[in-house]
Amino acid sequence: MPASPQRDRRHGGPRIHRPPSHRPRWPWLLLAPGLLWLLVLYLLPLLSLVPLSLSEPVSRFGLETVFRGRLANYQEVLQAYGPILLRSFAYASLATGLGVVLAYPLAWTIRFRGGRWQPLLMGLVVLPSLTSFLVRAIAWTSLLADQGPLLQLLRSLGLIAPLEALGVLHDGRLLNTASAVILGLTTNLLPFLVLPLVVAMQRIDPVLLEAADDLHAGALRRFTQVVWPLSRPGLAAGILLSLIPAAGDVVNPRFLGGPNNQMIANSIDNLLLVQLQAPRAAALTLVLMALISVAVLLQLRRGLDELPLP
């Protein structure tokens, strides 16, 4: 979208105060190492996947591939893995949605009730991320086990049947189900939602809430008319930060899912290491990258003017 209304808004909108000619050039020098890093370690490897994705292996176990302009690779992986792509984005979206629901009260509490404990509470949100996400996934397998503490609690509360009716439990279990994968994803992405939300809420002057209170706004209206609109930039950033890694996650489905709950990264892993089909793995990787990029662009387009720009 070269002439997007977004850009027009940015450049012609009221936010831009300085004409471009006054901008110094040295920020580009500061950016150079980062851009070089991205170019050499990210963009070039990614581009090298393009010819590979159109190639064919010369032999099954040899390393050489030969470029054939084989678009059929894309057709084949889309056909074979299309449903898993959909599943991956569905799981990632559900996890992000669940994360948002959990993150708002957390961020709210940290911001408005945290007081001097605020840094500590922020630290606690980040704390789980200090252990490897892999270790966490393996730990979840014990917590969610059929005879594990969580299910025993649910059993003693008589919640097995209702949760099964809701589709949260399958055959009376949690481990190796879609619910467990989404749960794992949610815990992984929660800090990425909470932190930007807290930062966004820092900019909400508590006086505004008091004013709303004075105007007899209930808790719900205070949230929908004050907190929500003012925190949306943080939310937009948080969703970006969590949706992307969640869609490409390989660990949670492997350890917490069953064979019907694997995600697209597992398919890529399998294509590359087990089926030894590097070209198809490359094609599927590029499809995933393209879909994620589209999602990011859509999100940016919607949320650009909400992001806290200088």
Partner 1 sequence: MAPFAHHEGRRTFLRRLAWGASGALLAPALLQACGRGPGGGGEGADKEGADKKGADKESGELVISSFPLYIDPSRPGAPGSVERFQRDTGIRLRYGEDVNDVRQFFARIRPALAAGQTLPQDLVVLTSWMATRLIQLGWVEPLPFDRIPNARNLIPSLRNPSWDPEQRFSLPWQSGIAGIAYNFKATGRELRSIDDLFDPALKGRVSALLEMRDTMGLLMLADGKDVSRPNWSDAQPSFDRLERARRDGQIRRFTGNDYQNDLLAGNLAACIGWSGDVAQLALEQPDLRFVVPESGGILWADVMLMPKGARHPNAAARWMNWVYDPPQAARIAAAVQYISPVEGVQQILAKDPATAALANNPLMFPDPAKQQRLHVFGPLSEAEEARWDERFARITQA
In the complex, the residues that contact partner 1 under the rule CB under 8 A are 60-63, 80-81, 84, 132, 134-135, 138, 141-142, 145-148, 170-171, 173, 175-176, 250-251, 254, 258-260, 262, 266-267, 270, 273-275
Cα gap 158→169, rounded to integer Å? 13
Cα gap 269→171, rounded to integer Å? 29
Rounded to the nearest whole angstrom, what is the least distance from the CB of residue 177 to partner 1 in the complex? 9
- Cα→Cα distances 268→123, 179, 271, Å: 35, 22, 5
Q: With respect to partner 1, which residue has the nearer C-beta, 65 or 96?
A: 65
Rounded to the nearest whole angstrom, what is the least distance from the CB of residue 146 to partner 1 in the complex? 5
Rounded to the nearest whole angstrom, what is the least distance from the CB of residue 134 to partner 1 in the complex? 4
Cα gap 271→233, rounded to integer Å? 38
Q: With respect to partner 1, which residue has the nearer C-beta, 29 or 63?
A: 63
Q: With respect to partner 1, which residue has the nearer C-beta, 199 or 283?
A: 283
- Cα→Cα distances 174→151, 188, 208, Å: 8, 18, 43
Rounded to the nearest whole angstrom, what is the least distance from the CB of residue 193 to partner 1 in the complex? 24
Q: With respect to partner 1, which residue has the nearer C-beta, 111 or 170?
A: 170
Residue 66: CB partners within 8 Å, gap ≥ 6? 55, 56, 58
Q: With respect to partner 1, which residue has the nearer C-beta, 18 or 60?
A: 60
Rounded to the nearest whole angstrom, what is the least distance from the CB of residue 78 to partner 1 in the complex? 14
Cα gap 43→39, rounded to integer Å? 5
